[in-house]
Structures are given as structure tokens and as C-alpha cells.
Amino acid sequence: MTINIVIAGPRGKMGSEAVKMVMNEPDFRLVACIDHKNNGKTLDTILPEVDRAIPIYEDAQACFQNHKNTDVLIELSVPAAGYKHTKTALEHKVRPVVGTTGFTETQLKEVDAFAQQQNVGCMIIPNFAVGAVLMMKFAKMAAAYFPDVDIIEKHHDQKLDAPSGTAIKTAELIRENRQSKKQGHPEEKETIPGARGADLDGIKLHSVRLPGLVAHQEVIFGSPGQTLTIKHDSMNRASFMDGIKLCVNRVMEIKGLIYGLETIL
């Protein structure tokens, strides 16, 4: 079965990699793209590696109205547009696979309810790298034995949200196996605000933003006499494509929202 796909954010580093993946996958067909700058153009005019005249739309409504055979939206734009594109896709019974992070808890609940109402699947995935997802699963396992933990996530300096969706998801999974706990000295003070990082039930989250980085995370557990570090590095964005491919196939089979790749691995 051929899966007809629209990609939102094709000019971005993730989006352009996804374009290559979709066009090289025999069971996938790229029918259109959504981009806020190039309405009316075709993809071959803005991406030199593309040799097909894939139409580009600024407006998601117009895109889905003109391509009623669309099965899946791969959403890789920015948080504000990503939420709007996701809702619009669901209105047209198009299944979103969303890599854009920054959705609020309220938005996630709204998307889940709407996807169930429309009787279609939706996947919102903080990190498509299979290795990163395994890191999160292993961290959840370790939390049952190591209640003291810091998360250090490192990304390129153009990332808009902090902490990353992966770091937040990791902390949420750790919470499932860990009691809330204030870490460090009970009377510790930050001489510079933020020095100890963000706090989620006592779990400390630290964000690094530097050029040269792609996506990296360390989960460091501490216990008397020992530490345990679970670490993952994405060296380039090709590391995310197997996860996107897996989700595109899986979203065709589900109803409602799946949040996080770890739920299907």
C-alpha cells in the first residue's frame, strides 16, 4: 500500500532530511509540502536535491483540500505552526506524525480528544531516534533504584524550546518509578539564579545550546559510592529517519494520540 504524505517544514534540517527519506522509500509518496515562505512554488525550486515539482502551500487548509488523498502529515515546523497544522490535518482525517516539540498538556489533551473523535491516529514524538528512546526506557528502569538524578540535554543553538521535549519526556518516565524528592543539600542556595537547572519533582534538567551540536542527552544517576550515566548522541539528522518511517507506518493502524516512540518499541 502506498502512503501519501505531506511534509510541513521542508526547508528545515529535519524537514529536508525527511523529504529525502520519503522520496527514497518505495511505499511512500510525497504529494505536497507546507511552508510559510514559498506558497505557490514547487519543491524542486527551493531544494536542489529534489527533481520533482512537488507543490508548496502556505495554508494547511488549502493543502489538504487540494490533496484529499493525503494519508499522513509529517510535521517538522515550529511549535506555534505545528499545533495549528496538527489540528487542521485531523479536521481532514489526515494522520499527523509530529516531531515539533513544545505542545502544552492542554494541547495534547485536545489533540487526543479530537483524534479519537475523528477516528484517526496521531503521533507526537519528542525524539525519533531509536537510541534516544531506549535511553529513556533504561532511565525509567534505573529510577526504581537510583532516586537522585540530573538530566543534561545539549542541542544546537537554533532550537527554540528548553528544556527539550526529550528531556521532559525522560523526566516524566522517571517520575513513574520515583517518589518526588528534593535533591542536594536541604539549605542549598543558587548564587546565580538557574545554576541548578529547572526542577521537575526534584529532578534537575539542564539545557545547553551551542553551535556544532545536534541532539545529545545524559541522564546521570547518583547513589553513595557510585554513579550511572545513560547517554545518547545524534551525530546528524539521519538518525531520526528510521523513527519517522516507523511512525508513518504505525499511525495508519491506530486511533487517538500516541505520545512518545517508547510506547511502540
Q: What is the pLDDT of residues 195-219, one digit of tens each?
A: 999 999 999 999 999 999 999 999 9
Residue 221, pLDDT > 90, answer: yes
Query: Pairing between strand 203-209 and 226-234?
Result: unpaired
What is the model's pTM? 0.82
The residue from 93, 137, 156, 159 that is catalytic is 159
Query: What average pLDDT does this structure show over 96-103?
Result: 88
User: Active-site residue 84, yes or no?
Assistant: no
pLDDT band at 223 (very low <50, low <70, confident <90, very high): very high
pLDDT digits (tens, 9 = 90+) for 137-192: 999 999 999 999 999 999 999 998 899 989 998 999 999 999 888 899 999 999 99
Phi, psi of 186 (to 5 degrees): -60, -20
- The three cell numbers locating residue 110: 485536545
For the chain, what's the residue count? 265
- The three cell numbers locating residue 64: 489538504
DSSP state of 191: S
pLDDT band at 264 (very low <50, low <70, confident <90, very high): confident
pLDDT digits (tens, 9 = 90+) for 31-87: 999 999 899 999 999 998 898 999 999 999 999 999 999 999 999 998 889 999 999
Query: Quick one: pLDDT at residue 194?
Result: 94
pLDDT digits (tens, 9 = 90+) for 11-41: 998 999 999 999 999 999 999 999 998 999 9
What angle is formed at CA 150 by the lines to CA 215 and CA 125, rounded to 5 degrees?
A: 40
Query: What average pLDDT does this structure show over 120-140?
Result: 94
Q: Smallest Cα–Cα separation from 232: which of 156, 143, 127?
A: 127
Q: Smallest Cα–Cα separation from 36: which of 58, 12, 7, 9?
A: 58
User: Active-site residue 159, yes or no?
Assistant: yes
Question: What torsion do the CA atoms of 240, 243, 244, 250 make, to the nearest 10 degrees?
Answer: 180
The residue from 155, 206, 232, 245 that is catalytic is 155
Residue 261, pLDDT > 90, answer: no
Query: Pairing between strand 56-57 and 28-34?
Result: parallel
